[in-house]
Amino acid sequence: MNLDADLPGSRSEIHPASDSDHSAEEDDFVLKEAALIQSVLRSRGDSLGLQSALGGECFSVSERLVLEVLRRHRSDWKAASSFFDWASVQEGYSHGSRAYNEMLDILGRMKQIKLMRQLFDGIPHEPSAPIVNEKTFAVLVNRYAAAHKVADAIKVFYKRREYGLDLDLSAFQKLLTALCRYKHVEEAEALFLQKRAEFPPVIRSRNIILNGWCVLGSLREAKRFWNDIVTSDCKPDLYTYGIFINSLAKAGKLGTAVKLFTAMWAKGCSPDVAICNCIIDALCFKKRIPEALEVFREMDGRGCLPDTATYNTLLKHLCGIGRMEEARSLLSEMEQRRGGCAPNARTFTYFLKAAKDAGEAAAMVSRMRSAGCEPDADTYNLLLNLYVRWGDRRGVASIWSEMEDRGLGPDQRSYTVVIHGLRGRGRLDEARQVYAEMKSKGMIPEPRTRLLIKAIELGRTTKQT
């Protein structure tokens, strides 16, 4: 269960999609200007150098241009800050909410907390046209929490009133989520208890704390907090159960997790597909596959429809232990049901890993394509590994050519697979040739590959002497 999914301040919120009325010509113009500014920033990072370098150019500074340049310098706060300062004094332009939020996020992300605070304090405060908004506070709270400045995160939360924003329950829950996300669960729980009169202790707030303890891996604290929820007036909901069952399963407490899972049905709180998948995966991991299949078969009857992840969990383990007849039966079932159960690339990967020969692999790739799943780079590298292992030179050449035709490689992993495979089959000269080709393309070999080639060359030198 991921309670962070809807937390403001995510990349999608800081960078909303471009407006649909932006023409391709406008986009191209902005990208070209951003690229030119980027090249100047690389050569002259300070604001004075930037001022002199860009002074002779005629730029149409807009919010879109500013956001694009900042996006390109998310990991270079000095260049981003220099450009931000330069743009702020250009005629006809002033920074808006999105530009300030982006710059605050860059500074916070690069741990420049003092500069982030100074920038925030310097934002113009115009009640009639406010710049500071919900996203601004989401960025600040997240970055303070990430920098382990819990007191500052709480302090800035209470500044919301100064900017006309409510200190409501939703905002408080986002503060708790940020603290828990960065492992300040103890402080988050203390704040939750301290502010009970101000912010009602509803189940969602409790779920955030419970999830924090579970993600932290502290099962003892998670159990304690779970018991607090159970004995409170605020009863567990679906998310509460999901969080705790997932934590128990990951901690190896499968018996307790299954008991709690079974109790959900009895209490009328029907598990959703995510909880069922968690139990199925945990049972399979413990080699209790018959029980996992039993849970799977009961899902339909209880109104909880399985999804692709449900089938994939079972297929991963069935293929792994060679129960291919059952696995193929489940695959056929997926193909018939389609919709939310349609097979994906991962589904077919499990079958390919279990393939015994080239004919079986080729048949599975054909079936994969029939299901609307084109092989990706991972699939191709897996096939390369298989064909190398089987000594199928024609298969290797075919996959290599197809990867090139589709623009999916060969990449560093592809070369690594082939080099190690050739060495394993005693084709040492070919391994050296492929290694040389890999290096000529600017790819950096893995340490194990470098050692392998050194060993081959050492062996050749020894033989010659």
Q: For residue 43, what pLDDT is reported?
A: 79
Please report, in tens digits, the pLDDT of each residue of the chain (465 residues total): 444 444 333 333 344 444 444 567 778 888 888 888 888 888 765 555 666 666 555 678 999 999 999 999 998 999 999 999 999 998 899 999 999 999 999 999 999 999 999 999 999 988 888 999 999 999 999 999 999 999 999 999 999 999 999 999 999 999 999 999 999 999 999 999 999 999 999 999 999 999 999 999 999 999 999 999 999 999 899 999 999 999 999 999 999 999 999 999 888 889 999 999 999 999 999 999 999 999 999 998 888 999 999 999 999 999 999 999 999 999 999 999 878 899 999 999 999 999 999 999 999 999 999 999 999 999 999 999 999 999 999 999 999 999 999 988 899 999 999 999 999 989 999 999 999 999 998 899 999 999 999 999 888 777 766
Structure tokens at 205: 């707030």
The domains of the chain are located at 1-163, 375-465
Q: For residue 19, what pLDDT is reported?
A: 47
Q: Which residue has the tokens 């999609």?
A: 17
Q: State the Cα angle at 155 between 151 and 160, rounded to 5°.
A: 155
Q: What is the pTM of this model?
A: 0.78
- Out of 1.10.20, 1.25.40, 1.10.3470, 1.10.287, the CATH code matching 1-163 is 1.25.40
Main-chain dihedrals φ then ψ at residue 148, nearest 5 degrees = 65, 30
Q: For residue 3, what pLDDT is reported?
A: 43
Q: For residue 301, what pLDDT is reported?
A: 86
Is residue 31 exposed (0-12), middle (13-18) or buried (19+ Cβ within 10 Å)?
A: middle
Contact between 131 and 100 under an 8 Å Cβ cutoff? The reply is yes
Between CA 123 and CA 196 the distance in angstroms is 32
Burial 155-189 (b: 16+ CB within 10 A, else e): ebbeebeebebeeeeebbbbbbbbbbbbebbbbbb
